[in-house]
Amino acid sequence: MDVTLKRDLEGVDWREVAAVYAETLGPEDPAQLERTWSRSYATALAYVDGGLAGVARAISDGEREALIVGVAVRPAYQRRGIATAMMRALMDDLRRTAIILTCEEDENVAFYESLGFRTHKRAMVLGMGRARPPQPLDGDLPGRQGANHNDKRAFSTNSWSRAPHEPTLCGTTG
């Protein structure tokens, strides 16, 4: 199996990324994926024989804290080390920061523990999860180089609906 890790977003087919999520974490809007991934600190896309098999990304200030989200490998390619390779690439990019991630499924704990993550005693989250509907945008968003994560144009805070199953904090490292 020939696995290639792509670390930039040039030429990414966002419908292909959405297809990976449709098979794993749930449906996503390709246009929103392009926006959110473009504003991420680091990304990893794993291709097998030219097709997209796995994806993962990190949001970070680059110095103190980082959040890894959206780690997913298509079922046909799981248990072959693809998520490990993507995670190690992101962890290398984030070697100076603490890394936080959430996981809802108990079965994923072993995966993150295998990378050194440990369960944190408590996490508190607000408005996080897949149930939050896409919010309308009222302006252009900054690109990867000029990311401004405080840009209030990106969403309206008073219209969030809380996820029915908020994720538990699975691990931190750093």
Ligand X SMILES: CC(C)(COP(=O)(O)OP(=O)(O)OC[C@H]1O[C@@H](n2cnc3c(N)ncnc32)[C@H](O)[C@@H]1OP(=O)(O)O)[C@@H](O)C(=O)NCCC(=O)NCCS
Count the site residues for ligand X by CB under 6 A.
Answer: 19
- Radius of gyration in angstroms for the set of CA atoms belonging to the chain, rounded to a whole number: 16
CB of 29 to ligand X, least distance (A): 18
How far from chain centre, in Å, is Cα 142?
Answer: 19
Cβ-contact 154, 147 below 8 angstroms: no
Per rule CB under 6 A, is residue 58 in the interface with ligand X?
Answer: no
Cβ neighbours of residue 15 closer than 8 Å, sequence gap 6 or more: 30
Helices marked H in 3-161: 14-22, 30-38, 82-93, 107-113
Binds ligand X by CB under 6 A, chosen from 33, 82, 94, 99 = 82
Q: Does 90 contact ligand X by CB under 6 A?
A: no
Q: Is 66 in the site for ligand X (CB under 6 A)?
A: no
Q: Whose Cβ is closer to ligand X: residue 24's or residue 36's?
A: 24
6 interacts with ligand X by CB under 6 A: no
Instruction: Report the distance separating Cα 3 and Cα 98, nearest Å.
Output: 28
Q: Are the CB atoms for 62 and 38 separated by under 8 Å?
A: no
The region of 5-13, 26-34, 73-81, 88-96 touching ligand X under the rule CB under 6 A is 73-81
32, 36, 38, 78: residue in contact with ligand X (rule CB under 6 A): 78
Q: Is 71 in the site for ligand X (CB under 6 A)?
A: yes
Q: Which residues bind ligand X (CB under 6 A)?
A: 24-25, 71-73, 78-84, 103, 105, 107-108, 110-111, 114
